[in-house]
Amino acid sequence: MKSYLEKLMNRESLTLEEMKQAAATSFSEQTTESELASFLTALRVKGETPEEIAGLAEIIRSQSAQTTDIPISAMDNCGTGGDGSHSFNISTTAAFVLAGAGATVAKHGNRSISSRTGSADVLEHLGVSLSFTKEHVEKMLTENNIAFLFAPNVHPAMKRFMSVRKNIGIPTIFNLIGPLTNPVALDTQLLGVYRRDILPLLAQTLHQLGRKRALVINGAGHMDEGSLAGENHIALLEEGSVTSFTLNPDEVNLPVYDNDAIKGGNAKDNARILVDVLSGKHGAHRDTVLFNAGLGLFANGTAESIRDGIRVAEESIDSGAAMEKLERLTDYSKKVSSEVI
């Protein structure tokens, strides 16, 4: 670890292989918490590169007992969090719309960290299991197009970094890494991020991680979701190249809503919003989900344009397909729980 730390202190970036070696070393009990803190701080001060972020993500993924390479084309639509918007669970709701539209979604998520209610909180309230095994996940992905992977269950080795991150007290590479560590091999991804300045950086990181196509978005008001409040900033990864553009609601025939219109509450409140949207209730929540699902379907390649993706997302909801994906996931969760008992 010392040699890598010295290189970072000299403001020299690590190669992909060097970062993978440093990350692997950091999981060793021989590496002290003070060394970890120095390493993370030095990375932050220098500024992380796509190779460094991808190297850490690859090692975290390899440490998971649920790492899988089943032969399906899967995506995720998990965001980094940290935007302070306190919105309802937009990407979680949109995940079921994506699945209902034919995309296979390995939904990776956690409990609330910076918001009132995380994806795990709302799904647990709805009856979705947080303790799926690798076999459970693979079954749901192949038979239901969607499964939920609870981050602490998937990445138990990450516990040793929690106190280090807390003691440092500043954002580190770990504030970006969560959506990149899905143990399912992903072909495509929609990634929301609270920092607008790193959209191309994360798009390049996704290329390093082998994504064939991806969208990285920072919404109006700096949300880590697509927002209908105004201008959204987007980086598109396609065939190894990154292009940037902006998108406003009127360009995709959706109304404008202030971000206050999509604020959420506790797990019970957000579960109700999720069910209302999947049941067809109209309003700001539905339109925001349609926007994000449209972005996801475009990122996945299921739709040729974002407008087309929104149209397909409407069909997913109005046909009942999206709700069916939730019901099958909760029914399977009950079955798994009864087998354990």
- Which residues does the annotation place in the binding site? 79, 82-83, 87, 89-92, 107-115, 119, 165, 224-225
The helices-and-strands tally (H runs, E runs) of the chain is 15, 7
Task: Output the six-digit token pair for 203.
Answer: 């798009």
Q: What is d(CA 138, CA 277) in angstroms, rounded to the nearest whole number?
A: 27
Residues in binding site for 5-phospho-alpha-D-ribose 1-diphosphate: 79, 82-83, 87, 89-92, 107-115, 119
**Partners of 191 in the β-ladder:** 216
Residues in binding site for Mg(2+): 91, 224-225
Of residues 298, 286, 109, 309, the one with CA closest to residue 213? 298
Task: Output the six-digit token pair for 314.
Answer: 């409407």
Contact between residue 57 and residue 177 where contact means Cβ atoms under 8 Å apart = yes
Long-range Cβ pairs for the range 243-251 (8 Å, 24+): 244/199, 244/200, 247/306, 249/291
Residues in binding site for anthranilate: 79, 110, 165
3-state secondary structure of 28: coil
- Strands lying side by side in the sheet with 213-218: 146-150, 104-109, 74-76, 186-192, 213-218, 232-238, 241-247
Contact between residue 248 and residue 230 where contact means Cβ atoms under 8 Å apart = yes
Contact between residue 182 and residue 131 where contact means Cβ atoms under 8 Å apart = no
Q: Give the amino acid at 249.
A: P
3-state secondary structure of 189: strand
Token pair 């950091």 in the structure block, residue: 26
Of residues 17, 10, 1, 80, the one with CA closest to residue 52? 17
CB burial class (10 A; 0-12, 13-18, 19+) of residue 4? buried
Q: What is d(CA 56, CA 42) in angstroms, rounded to the nearest whole number?
A: 15
